[in-house]
Amino acid sequence: MHVRLPALWLVAGCLGGAETSVPTATVTEGRFEITLSIPGELKAQKSVALSAPDLPGQAKVTWVIDEGSRVEAGAELLRFD
């Protein structure tokens, strides 16, 4: 039955009849990508608490690494004046 069904559609399409508007598209070979936007929250498997150095007066942060940046051990994360 699975083999005959496509053949029946082919024959029915060749018999003519009333014009019908069927949407068509050109098919090209390429990468097929599916993107899903799913709300949620990510939590770090491991985190470290940071604290400001004991500086005289009030310390001012002058630079902070961009959020989401990948870092290696010992990388500079922020600077104080």
Per-residue pLDDT tens over the stretch 47-81? 888 777 777 778 788 999 999 899 998 999 988 87
Give the pLDDT of residue 52: 75
CB 79 within 8 A of CB 62: yes
Give dist(CA 18, CA 21) in Å, integer.
Answer: 10
Give the pLDDT of residue 7: 52
**15 pLDDT band (50/70/90 cuts)?**
low
Mean pLDDT of the chain: 80
